[in-house]
Every structure is written in structure tokens, then in C-alpha cells.
Amino acid sequence: MGTNLHNFEMETLPTPPAPEITFDDDGYPTEATLQAIRDWEGVNTRDLLEAVMGAWYWDDMAKETAPGLFVFATGGWSGNESLVDTLMRNPFVMGFTSNILTPGGLHIFAIAREFKGNIRALYDLIRDWAWAGGQHAALKESSD
């Protein structure tokens, strides 16, 4: 019989420490840092998200806006884009968070259950709206 991880609080499960984030002489994350983020294995992704948040080029554009809800805006800077792209290539991050990417480099990662459901609902709404040719009963037409 397998273990259902949804019955556990993620913070109580063992997890490795987040990798040390290092930068090259131009201020970009090193390839070793990106590889360490990509290879990190753990079910409690908070430490990894906090490490990336602390390495963000503009600290006001990477925040935990509520407990368990992380928002990253790349600002078009390729170093930030490398960090978030690498996060999204980590199977543990993708498996234990709900996330959404919006146009303009806004990435939202949820680890708290209440936000995970909201992100899934928003994703479904956006998907349905797009496949319906920009029409959806839940979205009012803008007058702008």
C-alpha cells in the first residue's frame, strides 16, 4: 500500500536544504546553481522557493504574498528568467506546487492547499476562455 502524501503537511516531511545560490561576475546565476536547482529533490519546496526568491535580481518582484503563495515577476531580466525556468524543470517543484505563468513573465507558485485550488480554477477559467474564442460567461467584456 502506497503512502498518500496529501494526508501530510509538507513542512513535516524530510527535505534537503536548498542549494547555495551563486552568481558569475556579471551577476547571473552560475550554471552550477541552475543545475543544483534542477537536481534538488524534496517534497517541501518552500526552502527552494525562498532561496530563489532571495536570489531574485529585483527583490520587490519576488515575494511570498501570503503564506504558501509565491509570486515571481522576471522583469524581462534573463537571470531571473533562468531561475524560474530552472524551477519549472524541477520535477519536485512541479509535482508539489500548483503554478501558473501569465504573459509578461509573472509566475505564481502555490504550496498552500487553499491557493492550489484557486490556481487550478484560474487555469481552467483561462483555458476555457481561450478555447471559446475569448468568450466566457464568468468573464465580463471589458469596456476599455
How many percent of the chain have pLDDT more than 90? 50
- pLDDT for position 1: 36
Whether residue 100 is predicted with pLDDT greater than 80 in this model: the reply is yes
Output the pTM of the full model: 0.78
> For 54-87, how does the pLDDT look when each residue is reduced to its tens digit (9 = 90+)?
999 998 999 999 999 999 999 999 999 999 999 9
**Spans of all domains in the chain:** 16-131
What average pLDDT does range 8-27 have in this prediction? 77
Quote the distance between the C-alpha of residue 64 and its chain's center: 11
Render the burial of 87-99: b for 16+ CB within 10 Å, e for the rest. beebebbeebbbb
